[in-house]
């Protein structure tokens, strides 16, 4: 079945939304982002500052995982933009942002904060990060927590890596970037990492098509393979961040029980921790509306008890 014609109406409507585009220079590299705002005109091509956000409707910044990009959020962001100004960025080394000679969680965390300001998300935006993006979000909360209204982390291993894990990850630096002769061949090779048995075909088709770009000799994925050799951060072993936190564990995701137990204790009693039922590591690919409901619920809970100031 054609993934486009089989897509539900809500998904089609979400992709029809017209986000504005912007960029900001951080540490000498251009970081590109897009903004969804219910108050924006349909033909907006540059983000307009929406002014102060009130405590109940903070701006939201969406942060993708490793080797991903901002278009992973195309069907999620519009569901949140009915009440919030929402932005999604391409971290350097990903999507349409610049590459760097070297990457680090700290540098990406600084990019995150710079985009939140440039995109007009208000004084204390909420950051939602998936997988590696959740690690970046956690580091950003410890580096810039006084500037954030809260963080929501999705199935991210918030822990220090062992030396063996660091070596395994760095080995990707030695892998050549794959080039495919045409779009259809590239689409046939698109895979989620880690794989998950259940996905929505229309979501995967959209994500795959927005993951590639023309290069000499054909088509390739829009990420820098050397980003896998990025520096970690001791802040991944730190305790509760200085801003409200929520953590979503995917039931069929990558977080083992012992790791989850250790993380839960470190996040402290004030963190809201949930399990997304029957969901793989990439919930935007198999349960996107459940993910939207979870994000909305946490925002409502924080607003109700006054945590969003």
Q: Are the C-beta atoms of 85 and 37 separated by less than 8 Å?
A: yes
Q: At what angle do helices 105-118 and 132-144 cross, to 10 degrees?
A: 70
**pLDDT value of residue 50:** 45
Residue 130, C-beta contacts closer than 8 angstroms, at least 6 positions apart: 63, 64, 65, 68, 72, 154, 155, 156, 282, 283, 284
pLDDT at residue 57, rounded to an integer: 87
Q: What is the pLDDT of residue 224?
A: 95
- Dist CA 12 CA 5 (whole Å): 9
Q: Which residues of the chain have pLDDT under 70?
A: 1-5, 38-56, 165-174, 308-309
Q: What is the pTM of this model?
A: 0.93
How far is the C-alpha of 124 from the C-alpha of 131, rounded, in Å?
A: 22
- Residue 297 confidence (pLDDT): 97
- What is the spatial distance between Cα 203 and Cα 72, in angstroms, rounded to a whole number? 8
Contacts of 41 (CB under 8 A, 6+ apart): none
Distance CA 29, CA 31 (A): 6
CA distance 15 to 202: 11
Which CATH number is associated with domain 9-304?
3.40.50.1820
Cα–Cα distance for residue pair 96/169, rounded to 1 Å = 23
pLDDT of residue 162: 73
Cβ 87 vs Cβ 62: under 8 Å: yes
């Amino acid at each position: 079945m054609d993934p486009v014609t089989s897509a539900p109406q809500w998904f089609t409507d979400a992709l029809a939304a017209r986000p504005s585009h912007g960029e900001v220079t951080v540490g000498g590299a251009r970081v590109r982002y897009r903004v969804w705002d219910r108050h924006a005109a349909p033909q907006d091509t540059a983000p307009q500052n929406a002014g102060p956000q009130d405590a109940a409707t903070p701006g939201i910044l969406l942060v993708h995982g490793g080797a991903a990009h901002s278009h992973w959020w195309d069907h999620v962001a519009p569901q949140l933009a009915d009440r919030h100004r929402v932005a999604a960025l391409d971290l350097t080394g990903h999507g349409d942002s610049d590459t760097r000679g070297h990457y680090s969680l700290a540098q990406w965390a600084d990019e995150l904060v710079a985009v939140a300001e440039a995109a007009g998300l208000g004084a204390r935006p909420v950051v939602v990060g998936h997988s590696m993006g959740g690690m970046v979000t956690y580091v950003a909360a410890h580096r810039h927590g006084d500037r954030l209204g809260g963080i929501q982390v999705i199935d991210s291993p918030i822990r220090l890596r062992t030396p063996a894990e660091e070596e395994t990850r760095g080995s990707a630096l030695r892998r050549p970037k794959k080039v495919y002769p045409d779009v259809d061949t590239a689409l046939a090779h698109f895979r989620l990492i880690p794989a998950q048995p259940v996905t929505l075909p229309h979501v995967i088709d959209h994500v795959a098509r927005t993951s590639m770009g023309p290069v000499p000799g054909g088509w390739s994925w829009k990420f820098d393979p050397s980003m896998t050799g990025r520096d970690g951060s001791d802040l991944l072993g730190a305790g509760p961040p200085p801003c409200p936190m929520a953590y979503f564990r995917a039931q069929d995701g990558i977080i083992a029980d012992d790791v989850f137990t250790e993380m839960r204790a470190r996040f402290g009693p004030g963190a809201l921790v949930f399990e997304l039922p029957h969901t793989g590591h990439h919930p935007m690919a198999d349960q996107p509306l459940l993910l939207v409901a979870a994000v909305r619920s946490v925002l409502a809970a924080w607003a109700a008890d006054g945590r969003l100031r």
